[in-house]
Amino acid sequence: KQEVTQIPAALSVPEGENLVLNCSFTDSAIYNLQWFRQDPGKGLTSLLLIQSSQREQTSGRLNASLDKSSGRSTLYIAASQPGDSATYLCAVKGVTGGGNKLTFGTGTQLKVEL
């Protein structure tokens, strides 16, 4: 059964810092990995999608890497801003099973302070 873990659970940084969020998964048989942002009480906004054959994806100040064989992904946020404060979730889409489901981590709650 796929298990997804995210470290740290919470992070508080001053504005302008570069930071790294970590995600690990136990079953490397995946189609892809997706990073989401969730604001309090809100839905899930997709940030980056990395296919299993890719090593990284970039969007603006965000860069996500994937090492499928070791079951790890990192989300790098450059020059953090207060507007980046949110919970960041990683989720993997497994190959096994008929439905293509996502398995989510518990998230990293990020607070960027002025």
Partner 1 sequence: EPEVTQTPSHQVTQMGQEVILRCVPISNHLYFYWYRQILGQKVEFLVSFYNNEISEKSEIFDDQFSVERPDGSNFTLKIRSTKLEDSAMYFCASSGERGNYGYTFGSGTRLTVV
Residue closer to partner 1 by CB (options 34, 73) is 34
Q: Which stretch binds partner 1 (CB under 8 A): 12-20, 30-38, 59-67, 74-82?
A: 30-38
Is position 62 an interface residue for partner 1 (rule: CB under 8 A)?
no
Structure-block tokens of residue 107: 């998230």
107 φ/ψ sector (left φ>0, alpha ψ -120 to 50, else beta): left
Q: How far is the CB of 4 from partner 1 (least distance, A)?
A: 8
Residue closer to partner 1 by CB (options 52, 85) is 52
Structure-block tokens of residue 70: 């070791």
- One-letter amino acid at 61 equals R
97 φ/ψ sector (left φ>0, alpha ψ -120 to 50, else beta): left
Binding site for partner 1 (CB under 8 A): 31-32, 34, 36, 41-46, 49, 51, 89, 91, 93, 97-107
